[in-house]
Structure 1
Amino acid sequence: MTAPAPLLDDTRYQAVRSRDARFDGEFFFGVTSTGIYCRPSCPAVTPKRANVRFYPSAAAAQQAGFRACRRCRPDAAPGSAAWNVRADLAGRAMRLIGDGVVDREGVAGLATRLGYSSRQVHRRLTEELGAGPVALARAQRAHTARILLQTTGMPITEIAFAAGFASVRQFNDTVRAVYDRTPSELRAAPAHRRAPDGAAAAGIPLRLAHRGPYAAGQVFGFLARRAVPGVEEVLGPPGGRTYRRTLLLPYGTGIAEVTEPAPDRETGNWLGCRLRLTDPRDLSAAVQRVRRLFDLDADPYAVAEHLGADSRLRPLVAARPGLRSPGAADGAELAVRAVLGQQVSVAAAAGLAGALVAAYGKPLAAPDGGLTHLFPEPGVLAGAGLEETGMPQRRRDALRALAAALADGAVRLDPGADREETTRALLALPGIGEWTAGYVRMRALGDPDVFLPTDAGARHGLAALGAGPADADAWRPWRSYALHHLWHHGAP
């Protein structure tokens, strides 16, 4: 997806005047008379136009000397839909920065993953976001630090390093610059209920913001039908379900719990989440993986406007406002599950994945409810016999070839992977066809414009709609969302 046309400043100001939450995360505005920056929906009195400056990212506003507003918490706004779905350098870089690559590998590591020089990456990000990779990572570290300060009982010194800062002094200076408070003052501010025994004991409670309506029932149902025993579970009745899963993270492991909002909840564009991490340095990476899984940075207004223009899709869009296209918490896991799902039902695929987990997954130190294992890593599966799955020999060969390609880097499914290159690499593997490559591209790489014409559910949906595969071309660039509408429409 290419870059969208930039908004004019007058249009941005109208969004600020109307407190339009649709633009939260799409841009930020600083107020020169107060020295603070806000999200468009901030409930404060609208500032005079002459005192307003607009910025494409929170990092750019911070770099210009503005402090985060204490009322609207602009650092917690949902991510820009553009940066999270675009396939160009800026979009890929933003996804990697969100996953913490700059903190772990530096700007040089980010540039290497993207296939560009550090100077090129810095120039492109500065042009489009008003800040380079270091400033963008710094803004994320500050947000992580605020969460840990206000929701855990961790010592402040430990928080500094858990958030990714190189020193306590750097941590103190950044928190003061971004929030106009010392870490101790920020911790004392009203916030979510703090876990009395620290992050590890009770977990870190979060509110994961999203933009516009969110079809939670469909998303939680989609994940529940595909839940892999041992790695995932969905508890409770519809309208009050909790999705739980294990996570393999850069520094350790974690368990994520996301709660389905009650259908009658009138306010709050967010999902409740709790993260239990063996290493708090994984907080940013865990948050971003959950956000991708639940497609929280989508722009449902743009999707509905485009798909609703089709007379056949219009009733479907109206019936399910805010329908999302769930991503993946781990790209390699999703790819393996896609191969397991070839030519079998959703339930059968989940069963095969459960057998794989029981045989090759790494057990947790202690079971947590129905969660017992981490999903098997590619290096383990590459040399496994896989007889436990009962799959045909050719399918097992395909799974081992995929696992080997993931393990040695021939196929990349990290947040910054190039979608076209990854698709070509997948199709070059034995036993990987168009359906599998497309499904992986849609979910593991978050591509909003994938259609699966050979998919049985898509064919049923098209037939029920009185349409054919050729009609899907009119649904670009949101064919992934159209596909989900078809799946729901064509289901028994």
Structure 2
Amino acid sequence: MDEDTRYEAVRSRDARFDGEFFFGVATTGIYCRPSCPAVTPKRRNVRFFATAAAAQGSGFRACRRCRPDAVPGSAEWNVRADVVGRAMRLIGDGVVDREGVAGLAVRLGYSARQVQRQLTAELGAGPVALARAQRAHTARVLVQTTDLPITEVAFAAGFASVRQFNDTIRAVYASTPSELRTARTPHAPKAPAKGTGPSAGIPLRLAHRGPYQSGAVFDLLAREAVPGIEEITGTPGRRTYRRTLRLPYGTGIVAVDERPGALKAASPAHPGGWLDARLHLTDHRDLTTAVQRLRRLFDLDADPYAVDERLGADPRLAPLVAARPGLRSPGTADPEELAVRALVGRAEAERLVRRYGKTLDAPSGGLTHLFPEPSALVDAAPGEPLAALATALTDGTVRLDGGVDRDDAEEALLALPGMDTATVAVIRTRALGDPDVAPPGVDVPDAWRPWRSYAVQHMEHLEHVQHLRTAGELESR
């Protein structure tokens, strides 16, 4: 998009572009999302930025009306396989906070200077600034949705010192942390005390753009759920998905609610919505990582307008797209877990959880375990494909993090004994979040690129419905 096109999106308050770019207003020193309801600024006063970090680096503070830090992430980072896209996925997962820029560069296979130069040139901000913007958002969530002491919030959000935390919050929000907490609305949800049951945790709204077929996503999660680490409660349309999470600093339990109303968001006038979630963590430093992994699991950063436009132009897919606008291609909360499950199947995954999974200190409803780490599965089936995969994941022969080159990962997986192309296609789609995978034996033309993974979701959903219809007819006979 050129700047004139961006300004038209701002002038029309087009929420389809929320998260795709940001704009700052020179006369106010504030930056916003395109759909901000404030009076449209004059064109000569507007500056455009690829990221919130770039706007902050240019001296703009976040708008208090539209909260530009709470928008969905750019769908571009799911599509792109270059170093910038891979870097953004790793930064979102908290790698810079945990390992620094040097650790990020090692994962990408570049020098720290090269990574800094490429990110700054394209996004207007380097990895430190991008991570800082992310920490500021995490801090605001903790300040306004929990009663954690401000000092604990600072370190939980990833800041190295309270002073750095205070300076960042003032720069980004033009408020002190205490003022942010005081300013939260009286009806804002507060996290229940630790250990008060399955609903305990930090309340979150996981934003998405455009329509969202939550029913299809929850149907898939229900079919795949592995007892002990996952469960679905409630009735269709009002279900809650719960699971355990293994995170860098500790463990977590998340509950995400189905939201049928999201289907109505089919135009700029109804730009998107959110999924309600509750996240209970043993260590609050895992908040950013946990949120990003949930966003990948539920495919919340997708651009359904772009996907539906491309696929809906095909006569074969047009009726499917019209019937299910905003259908997502779910990912995973744990790429290594997904790889194991894709290889062994649901029944064997349940056995592995019971035999090798770590037991939670305090079970929560039907959640009793964490999925076993690859290192725990190396000796689970000597000589079998599972052992080969677990060994490769443990020693780094196969990497499935957000910064890996997808083609390299596929090649490494196919080199393992017992790993076929169909299984690798599932891993590439779900674990690596590739939106453009064509499984073997499936008629997926190039005209559907770069959204072939979404086309497969439409076709699989149709097959599932037809199977249920056939089964019902046979039962009635």
Give the match for residue 447 of structure 2.
474
Residues 196/189 of structure 1: CA separation in 2 closer, same or farther (3 Å cut):
farther
Residues 474/39 of structure 1: CA separation in 2 closer, same or farther (3 Å cut):
same
Taking the aligned partners of 2:56 and 2:171, their CA distance within structure 1 comes to 8
User: Secondary structure of the residue that 2:209 maps to in structure 1?
Assistant: coil
What's the C-alpha RMSD, in Å, of the aligned pairs? 1.5
Give the aligned residue type for 1:316: L
User: Secondary structure of the residue that 1:269 maps to in structure 2?
Assistant: strand
Taking the aligned partners of 1:219 and 1:80, their CA distance within structure 2 comes to 20
Give the match for residue 228 of structure 1.
226
Give the match for residue 45 of structure 1.
39
Q: 1:325 aligns with which of 329, 349, 358?
A: 329
Taking the aligned partners of 2:426 and 2:231, their CA distance within structure 1 comes to 22
Taking the aligned partners of 2:319 and 2:18, their CA distance within structure 1 comes to 27
Deviates more, 1:189-198 or 1:316-325: 189-198
Give the aligned residue type for 1:327: G
Q: 1:244 aligns with which of 207, 219, 242?
A: 242
Give the match for residue 267 of structure 2.
none
The answer to whether structure 1 residue 57 and structure 2 residue 57 are counterparts is: no
Give the match for residue 307 of structure 2.
303
CA displacement at 1:475 relative to structure 2: 1.1
CA displacement at 1:140 relative to structure 2: 0.3
Taking the aligned partners of 1:36 and 1:102, their CA distance within structure 2 comes to 27
In structure 2, list runs of 5 or more residues that go unmatched. 265-269, 468-477
Provide Cα deviations, 1:164-186, integer angstroms capped at 9, x if missing partner: 00000000000000000000001
Taking the aligned partners of 1:198 and 1:244, their CA distance within structure 2 comes to 17
| Counterpart mapping for 1:230-309 below 5 A | 230-263=228-261, 269-309=273-313
CA contact (8 A) 2:213 2:262 kept: no
Give the match for residue 369 of structure 2.
373
CA contact (8 A) 1:251 1:282 kept: yes
User: Secondary structure of the residue that 2:279 maps to in structure 1?
Assistant: strand
Give the aligned residue type for 2:246: L
CA displacement at 1:476 relative to structure 2: 1.2
The answer to whether structure 1 residue 121 and structure 2 residue 115 are counterparts is: yes
Taking the aligned partners of 1:199 and 1:8, their CA distance within structure 2 comes to 51
The answer to whether structure 1 residue 440 and structure 2 residue 427 are counterparts is: yes
Task: Give every structure 1 segment of 4 or more consecutive aligned residues whose post-TM-superposition deviation is greater than 3 Å.
Answer: 196-201, 262-268
Taking the aligned partners of 1:312 and 1:200, their CA distance within structure 2 comes to 50
CA contact (8 A) 1:27 1:55 kept: yes
Deviates more, 1:165-174 or 1:349-358: 349-358
Taking the aligned partners of 2:195 and 2:39, their CA distance within structure 1 comes to 36
Relative to the length of structure 1, the TM-score reads: 0.90
The answer to whether structure 1 residue 450 and structure 2 residue 429 are counterparts is: no
Provide Cα deviations, 1:189-211, integer angstroms capped at 9, x if missing partner: 12532225379983110101111
The answer to whether structure 1 residue 414 and structure 2 residue 383 are counterparts is: no
Residues 200/77 of structure 1: CA separation in 2 closer, same or farther (3 Å cut):
farther
CA displacement at 1:85 relative to structure 2: 2.5
Residues 182/263 of structure 1: CA separation in 2 closer, same or farther (3 Å cut):
closer
CA contact (8 A) 1:154 1:198 kept: no
The answer to whether structure 1 residue 102 and structure 2 residue 96 are counterparts is: yes
Taking the aligned partners of 2:34 and 2:425, their CA distance within structure 1 comes to 36
Relative to the length of structure 2, the TM-score reads: 0.93
Give the match for residue 425 of structure 1.
412
Provide Cα deviations, 1:100-126, integer angstroms capped at 9, x if missing partner: 000000000000000000010011111
CA contact (8 A) 1:97 1:137 kept: yes
CA displacement at 1:472 relative to structure 2: 2.1
The answer to whether structure 1 residue 141 and structure 2 residue 128 are counterparts is: no
Q: 1:195 aligns with which of 191, 194, 206?
A: 191
CA contact (8 A) 2:307 2:454 kept: yes
Taking the aligned partners of 1:66 and 1:277, their CA distance within structure 2 comes to 32
Give the match for residue 388 of structure 2.
401
Give the match for residue 471 of structure 2.
none
Provide Cα deviations, 1:129-188, integer angstroms capped at 9, x if missing partner: 110000000000000000000000100001101000000000000000000000000111
CA contact (8 A) 1:236 1:242 kept: yes
Give the match for residue 378 of structure 2.
382
How many residues are treated as equivalent by the alignment?
455
Give the aligned residue type for 1:175: I
CA contact (8 A) 1:338 1:440 kept: yes
User: Secondary structure of the residue that 1:311 maps to in structure 2?
Assistant: coil
User: Secondary structure of the residue that 1:367 maps to in structure 2?
Assistant: strand
| Counterpart mapping for 1:353-364 below 5 A | 353-364=349-360
Give the aligned residue type for 1:207: R
Residues 199/139 of structure 1: CA separation in 2 closer, same or farther (3 Å cut):
farther
CA displacement at 1:473 relative to structure 2: 2.1
Taking the aligned partners of 2:73 and 2:57, their CA distance within structure 1 comes to 18
User: Secondary structure of the residue that 2:460 maps to in structure 1?
Assistant: helix
CA contact (8 A) 2:78 2:85 kept: yes
| Counterpart mapping for 1:163-202 below 5 A | 163-191=157-185, 192-195=188-191, 197=193, 202=200
The answer to whether structure 1 residue 334 and structure 2 residue 334 are counterparts is: no
Could you tell me the percent identity over the aligned residues?
71
CA displacement at 1:54 relative to structure 2: 0.2
CA contact (8 A) 2:262 2:274 kept: no
In structure 1, list runs of 5 or more residues that go unmatched. 1-6, 341-348, 387-395, 459-468
CA contact (8 A) 1:25 1:39 kept: yes
